[in-house]
């Protein structure tokens, strides 16, 4: 089944028309993520879900406008997986553009926006250089999991990284054992245990191929 899945899917860059479905896939995947629960949940489930939808939507739109790598896994014409990579060539963390801050503030609130910025700063400070990418989001649609698509999506990220002449590699903050194992299986190494707010995890890093 896994081999069949690998043959049937393709990895391509997302178009503007794909962003709505991509946001839905990410929302469902990150609904119970410990970082977002700590950052956005204040006791009201409906409000939490509204904030999460808004935060994911604004981040996707910002990455699209900044021409960052948004990679999708398609089966036939169906988008079933998404990976979003941002490089340090655009302002991150405390350097985020004011318009992103304003939109995120309206969607998620002041404290949540500050927590998102702090998370980025923590990751950036622990990456090997300022020529690294950050895997902001990666997800497979809930009903398509367990079919081998996750590994295919990670491989697409690695292929993209290897093709970037001025990139030293890609980092990702992983706080779930299954995710840490998946990244490790595909060539990521744990380079630093990180504490982001109250959430503990590992900063995983893939060192891209050396471009001469």
Q: What is the mean pLDDT of residues 131-138?
A: 94
pLDDT digit string, tens, across residues 59-86: 999 999 999 999 999 998 999 999 999 9
Determine contact, residues 167/127, Cβ cutoff 8 Å.
no
Predicted confidence at residue 161, as pLDDT, reads 94
Q: What is the mean pLDDT of residues 46-64?
A: 93
Q: Specify the CATH number for 2-207; select among 3.20.20.140, 3.40.50.920, 3.40.630.30, 3.30.565.10.
A: 3.40.630.30
Each domain of the chain, given as residue ranges in start order, spans 2-207
Predicted confidence at residue 7, as pLDDT, reads 55
**CA nearest to 86, candidates 125, 115, 59, 119:** 59
Predicted confidence at residue 170, as pLDDT, reads 96
Predicted confidence at residue 95, as pLDDT, reads 67
Predicted confidence at residue 109, as pLDDT, reads 81
Mean pLDDT for the chain?
A: 89
Say which residue the tokens 């956005």 belong to.
40
Determine contact, residues 132/173, Cβ cutoff 8 Å.
no
- 88 three-class SS: coil
Predicted confidence at residue 210, as pLDDT, reads 62
Task: Please report which confidence band the pLDDT of residue 5 belongs to, taking 50, 70 and 90 as the band edges.
Answer: very low
Task: Please report which confidence band the pLDDT of residue 157 belongs to, taking 50, 70 and 90 as the band edges.
Answer: very high
Q: Token digits for 4?
A: 């069949």
């Amino acid at each position: 089944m896994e081999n069949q899945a690998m043959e049937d899917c393709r990895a391509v860059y997302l178009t503007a028309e794909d962003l709505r479905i991509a946001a839905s896939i990410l929302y469902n995947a990150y609904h119970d993520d410990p970082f977002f629960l700590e950052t956005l949940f204040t006791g009201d489930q409906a409000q939490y879900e509204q904030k999460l939808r808004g935060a994911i939507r604004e981040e996707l739109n910002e990455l699209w406008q900044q021409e960052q790598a948004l990679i999708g896994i398609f089966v036939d014409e169906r988008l079933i997986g998404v990976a979003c990579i941002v490089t340090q060539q655009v302002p991150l963390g405390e350097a985020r553009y004011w318009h992103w801050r304003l939109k995120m503030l309206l969607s998620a609130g002041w404290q949540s926006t500050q927590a998102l910025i702090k998370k980025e700063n923590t990751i950036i400070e622990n990456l090997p250089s300022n020529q690294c990418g950050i895997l902001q989001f990666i997800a497979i649609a809930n009903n398509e999991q367990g079919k081998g698509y996750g590994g295919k999506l990670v491989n697409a990220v690695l292929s993209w990284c290897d093709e970037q002449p001025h990139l030293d590699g890609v980092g990702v903050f992983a706080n779930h054992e299954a995710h840490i194992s998946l990244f490790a299986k595909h060539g990521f190494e744990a380079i630093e245990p990180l504490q982001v707010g109250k959430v503990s995890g590992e900063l995983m890093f893939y060192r891209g191929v050396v471009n001469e």
